[in-house]
Amino acid sequence: MKSGRSILAVFLITFFLSIVAVGQTSVIQTTASPTSGSATPTVAKIDALELKRLIRPKGKPLLVNFWATWCDPCREEFPELVKINNDYKGKIDFITISLDDLADINSAVPQFLTEMKAEMPAYLLVTSDEESAISSVSKDWSGGLPFTLLINEKGGTAYFRQGKVRPEILRGELTKLTTSPAAGDR
Amino acid sequence: MRHAIFLFSFAAVVLVTSLATAANAQTPAVGSTIENFTLSDTNGSSQSLNDLKGKNGAVVIFLSAQCPVVKGYHERINQLAADYQAKGINFIGINSNSTESLDWVKSNAVEYGFKFPVLIDKNNVLADKLGASVTPEVFYVDAKNTLLYHGAVDNDRSGKNVSENYLRTAFDDSLAGKKIAKTSASAFGCTIKRISE
């Protein structure tokens, strides 16, 4: 009788765990970010005006990476950026802005982001006035890709890099911005 | 000990940041004089700005064999070179990318049909001196090496929707003896791959 109860208990626990697991799977599938996992990421088209709005921080430090699929250094540094996004998730906002042709918005760009397992919100900039777009982002940017900009929550530039980021420096700045002064004193 | 480690780390960060800043040197102001330079071409011969410039000046254009943006521009660059070399403005290609071999640069110049010399900027010395950071990026100087225009060739990478021919307009204004209205413009391009990268 005792062993019968044990078998029933094991069965019930297994059944319960299976339901939880199935539930979890369905949650992951239904709430997955459009830029994550195996689902095809959504890349939103933006213009220069939307770009200006997007690069304003909204209560958290904001990391912005400008890139393109045709840019080899951009592709090379992307895995590190994905790691950074995972490591600082919730503490910062991180967006990527592609300078690919509009024709690639549903093909090459999302394909690469899928390959990278990139979960950052992804945009593609379309503008007839590149000069104005570049100068609206940073006076230190001459248009070379990749370009990465870290903006503190007050809107000041904490770090920028034209060319591949130096991960240790970027991480140092991110840690400074995401660590409260009280925590820093400890 | 902790204090020493902190100071050492701080000094290291300052040093790295300084080096990064040095790599992005300031571009000379429009109106200033570009110093003469001498570099080797793809055949190993020494060539200087003063020897290569035309009677109305020269365009120093930073190029890359790898960069798709340069690929997209090469026909427009060839057209400009053909149109304005006849008017005394000579083109001088510069390759400062540490990642591109001499053979690659040489074969690329043939592939793109460049009729002007492409000089090898070993250790990106000239790129640092001029503060060049992107390909393609142009520096247009007059016969006295005065910088007249710096930046993008035009305002459209694809070439399909060009509405501002920055470089051509600068040539035309200058040759007509007029003041150049737009003396600099930036555009998206490939970052020059420096040795310090």
- pLDDT at residue B41, as a whole number: 98
The minimum CA-CA distance between A129 and chain B, rounded to whole Å, is 7
Reported as half-sphere exposure (CB side, CA atoms, 13 A), residue A123 has a value of: 20
Q: Do B156 and A128 make contact, defined as CB atoms within 8 angstroms?
A: yes
Q: Do B16 and A169 make contact, defined as CB atoms within 8 angstroms?
A: yes
- pLDDT at residue B26, as a whole number: 82
Cα separation, B32 vs B11, in Å, equals 35
Token digits of residue A47: 């213009």
- Cβ pairs A/B, distance under 8 A: 69
Domains and CATH numbers, chain B: 27-191 (3.40.30.10)
Q: Is the pLDDT score of A14 beyond 80?
A: no
Q: Do B186 and A145 make contact, defined as CB atoms within 8 angstroms?
A: no
Chain B contact for A162 (CB, 8 A cutoff): yes
Mean pLDDT of chain A: 83
ipTM score assigned to the predicted complex = 0.80
pTM across the whole model: 0.80
In chain A, which residues have their Cβ closer than 8 Å to the Cβ of B191?
Answer: 73, 144-146, 162-163
* Residue the block writes with tokens 């520096």: B139
In chain A, which residues have their Cβ closer than 8 Å to the Cβ of B20?
Answer: 161, 166
Chain A contact for B19 (CB, 8 A cutoff): no
- pLDDT at residue A25, as a whole number: 32
**Per-residue pLDDT tens over the stretch B4-34:** 554 444 444 433 333 333 334 689 999 999 9
- pLDDT at residue A180, as a whole number: 61
Least confident of A5-14, A51-60, A83-92, B107-116: A5-14
- pLDDT at residue A10, as a whole number: 53
Q: Is the pLDDT score of A111 beyond 80?
A: yes
**Per-residue pLDDT tens over the stretch B45-61:** 999 999 999 999 999 99
CATH of the domain spanning A43-185, picked from 3.40.50.300, 3.30.590.10, 3.40.30.10, 3.40.50.720: 3.40.30.10
- Please state the separation of Cα A154 from the chain's center in Å: 20
Higher pLDDT, A89 or A28: A89
Chain B interface disruption, residue of A142, A162, A170, A171, most B CBs within 10 A: A142
Q: What are the backbone dihedrals phi and psi of residue B66, each rounded to the nearest 5 degrees, phi first? A: -90, -30
Residue A128 banded pLDDT, cuts 50, 70, 90: confident
**Neighbouring residues of B173: CB distance < 8 A, sequence distance ≥ 6:** B179, B180, B181
User: Which strands form B189-191's sheet, in the order they lie side by side?
Assistant: A144-145, B189-191, B134-135
Chain A interface disruption, residue of B133, B190, B196, most A CBs within 10 A: B190
Residue A41 banded pLDDT, cuts 50, 70, 90: confident
A contact residues 61-90, partner B, Cβ 8 Å cutoff: 68, 70-73
pLDDT tens for chain B, residues 1 to 197: 555 554 444 444 433 333 333 334 689 999 999 999 999 999 999 999 999 999 999 999 999 999 999 999 999 999 999 999 999 999 999 999 999 999 999 999 999 999 999 999 999 999 999 999 999 999 999 999 999 999 999 998 889 889 999 999 999 999 999 999 999 999 899 999 999 76
- pLDDT at residue B2, as a whole number: 55
Q: Do B133 and A169 make contact, defined as CB atoms within 8 angstroms?
A: no
Minimal-distance CA residue of chain B relative to A141: B186
Which conformational region is residue B145 in: left (phi greater than 0), alpha (psi within -120 to 50 degrees), or beta? left
Mean pLDDT of chain B: 90
The minimum CA-CA distance between A182 and chain B, rounded to whole Å, is 18
Chain B contact for A185 (CB, 8 A cutoff): no
Chain B contact for A145 (CB, 8 A cutoff): yes
The residues spanned by each domain of chain A are 1-31, 43-185
* Residue the block writes with tokens 């000046």: B57
Average pLDDT value for residue range A5-9: 58
